[in-house]
C-alpha cells in the first residue's frame, strides 16, 4: 500500500494474528518481514531468536536494528523496483497492512520448505472505516486463499471485521510449505 501505513506507528504492538502463528516458524529460522514499517514484527522475531530480513522503501523505522548481527535491513521500492531478494527462501514470511498484488506469487515462493507465511491486510469493506479505501489496496473475498493455492497448505484463514487495534475489515492467512510438520485434514475455515 502506498502512503502512510499503520505499521509505521512507533511502539505498535505485534499483530495478534502474527503472534498466534509465530510458533510455526522453525526455531532459529530466517524470517522475512516484508514492508516492515517500524519493525514491530522484525523485533518480535529477533526477540524469539530468529535471523530477520526487514524490507521496506523507508528503513528509518528499523535503522536501530542494523547493529544486530541477526538483522539484515534492505531498502527497496517493492512496487517500482526489482524483487530485492532474488531466489531467497525464508522459514517465515510476514506481511501485514501491505498489498501489492504483483508480489503475491513472489511472496508465496519465498517460503522455504517447512516454512510458513503469515499475512494480514485490509479487505473490501474497510472503506467504511477510512484508509485504505482504494480497492487497489483491499483484498477481495478469498484472495489470499487463491494466492497460495497450489503453492502452500492453508493452516488458518479469516476474512472478517475487527475492532482492535482499530475498526477494520481484514483478511489473514497462515499457510505452510510442505515439510512444516503442521498437519491438516480440515478445511481452511475450520482452523480459524
pLDDT at position 129 is 94
> Is the pLDDT assigned to residue 127 strictly greater than 90?
yes
Span 24-52, pLDDT tens digits: 999 999 999 999 999 999 999 999 999 99
Span 144-164, pLDDT tens digits: 999 999 999 999 999 999 998
> Is the pLDDT assigned to residue 73 strictly greater than 60?
yes
pLDDT mean over 83-89: 95
Sorting pLDDT into bands at 50, 70 and 90, what band is 185?
very low
pLDDT at position 184 is 41
In a domain, 70, yes or no: yes
Asked whether 138 and 148 are in contact (CB, 8 A), the reply is no
pLDDT at position 128 is 93
pLDDT mean over 89-99: 97
In a domain, 6, yes or no: no
In a domain, 158, yes or no: yes
pLDDT at position 162 is 94
In a domain, 28, yes or no: yes
CATH number at residue 156: 3.40.50.150
pLDDT at position 7 is 56
- pLDDT, mean over the chain: 89
DSSP string of the chain, one letter each residue:
--S--GGGSTTPPPPHHHHHHGGGSPTT-EEEEET-TT-HHHHHHHHTT-EEEEEES-GGGGGGGGGSTTEEEEE--TTTS--TTTT--EEEEEEES---GGGHHHHHHTEEEEEEEEEEEEBTTGGGGSSS--GGGSBPTTHHHHHHTTTSEEEEEEEEEE-SSSSEEEEEEEEE-TTSS----S-HHHH-
> Is the pLDDT assigned to residue 186 strictly greater than 70?
no
In a domain, 173, yes or no: yes
Out of 88-97, 129-138, 150-159, least confident range: 129-138
Overall domain count for the chain: 1
Q: Which domain holds residue 85?
A: 16-179
In a domain, 39, yes or no: yes
Cell (9 digits) for 185: 485434514
In a domain, 105, yes or no: yes
Its pTM surpasses 0.85:
yes
In a domain, 83, yes or no: yes
Alpha carbons 117 and 162: distance in angstroms, whole number: 21
pLDDT at position 80 is 96
Amino acid at each position: 500500500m502506498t502512503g502512510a501505513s499503520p505499521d509505521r506507528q512507533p511502539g505498535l504492538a505485534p499483530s495478534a494474528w502474527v503472534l498466534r502463528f509465530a510458533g510455526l516458524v522453525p526455531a532459529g529460522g530466517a524470517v522475512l518481514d516484508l514492508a516492515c514499517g517500524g519493525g514491530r514484527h522484525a523485533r518480535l522475531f529477533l526477540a524469539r531468536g530468529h535471523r530477520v530480513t526487514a524490507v521496506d522503501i523507508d528503513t528509518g523505522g528499523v535503522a536501530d536494528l542494523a547493529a544486530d548481527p541477526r538483522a539484515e535491513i534492505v531498502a527497496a521500492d517493492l512496487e517500482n523496483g526489482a524483487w530485492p531478494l532474488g531466489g531467497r527462501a525464508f522459514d517465515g514470511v510476514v506481511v501485514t497492512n501491505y498489498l501489492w498484488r504483483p508480489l503475491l506469487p513472489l511472496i508465496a515462493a519465498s517460503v522455504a520448505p517447512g516454512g510458513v507465511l503469515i499475512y494480514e491486510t485490509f479487505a473490501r469493506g474497510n472503506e467504511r472505516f477510512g484508509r485504505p479505501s482504494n480497492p487497489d489496496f483491499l483484498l477481495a473475498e478469498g484472495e489470499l486463499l487463491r494466492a497460495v493455492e497450489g503453492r502452500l497448505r492453508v493452516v488458518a484463514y479469516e476474512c472478517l471485521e475487527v475492532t482492535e487495534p482499530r475498526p477494520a475489515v481484514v483478511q489473514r492467512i497462515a499457510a505452510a510449505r510442505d515439510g512444516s510438520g503442521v498437519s491438516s485434514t480440515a478445511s481452511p475455515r475450520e482452523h480459524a
